[in-house]
Amino acid sequence: VLVTQTPSSLPVSLGDQASISCKSSKSLVHNNGITYLAWFLQKPGQLPQSLIHTVSNRFSGVPDRFSGSGSVSDFTLKISRVEPEDLGVYYCLQYVHYPYTFGAGTKLELK
Amino acid sequence: QIQLVQSGPELKKPGESVKISCKASGYTFTDYAMHWVKQAPGKGLKWMGWINTYTGKPTYADDFKGRFVFSLEASASTANLQISNLKNEDTATYFCARGLQWSHWGQGVMVTVSS
Tens digit of each residue's pLDDT (9 = 90 or more) over B37-59: 999 999 999 999 999 999 999 99
Give the model's pLDDT for residue B29: 96
CB within 8 Å: B102 and A104: no
A88 neighbors A79 (Cβ within 8 angstroms): no
Give the model's pLDDT for residue B68: 98
Give the model's pLDDT for residue B100: 80
CB within 8 Å: A98 and B59: yes
Give the model's pLDDT for residue B3: 97
User: pLDDT of A37-95, one tens digit each?
Assistant: 999 999 999 999 999 999 999 999 999 999 999 999 999 999 999 999 999 999 999 99
CB within 8 Å: B59 and A40: no
What distances in angstroms separate CA A62 from CA A5, A49, A55, A68, A107, one per listed residue? 21, 10, 14, 12, 19
Give the model's pLDDT for residue A40: 98
**10-residue mean pLDDT series, chain B (115 residues):** 97 98 97 97 97 97 97 94 98 95 96 97
CB < 8 Å to A53, chain B: 101-103
CB within 8 Å: A91 and B44: yes
Is residue A19 predicted with pLDDT exceeding 90? yes
Residue B78 CA to residue B105 CA, distance in Å, equals 14
B33 neighbors B24 (Cβ within 8 angstroms): no
Which residue is closest to B97 within chain A, CA to CA?
Answer: A48
Residues in a beta bridge with B97 = B35, B105
Is B27 in CB contact (< 8 Å) with chain A? no
- Range 29-68 of A in CB contact (< 8 A) with B: 38, 40, 42, 47-50, 53-54, 59
Cβ atoms within 10 Å, residue B106: 25
- Residue of A6, A9, A100, A101 best to disrupt the B interface, most CBs of B under 10 A: A100
SS3 content of chain A, % helix, strand, coil (to 5): 5, 50, 45
Average pLDDT, chain B: 97
Residue ranges of E strands in chain B: 3-6, 10-12, 18-25, 34-39, 46-51, 58-60, 68-73, 78-83, 92-98, 109-113
Residue A95 CA to residue A78 CA, distance in Å, equals 20
Conformational region of residue B42, where left means phi above 0, alpha means psi within -120 to 50, and beta covers everything else: left
CA atoms within 13 A on the CB side of A17: 6
CA atoms within 13 A on the CB side of A7: 9
Cβ atoms within 10 Å, residue A40: 25
Give the model's pLDDT for residue B74: 84
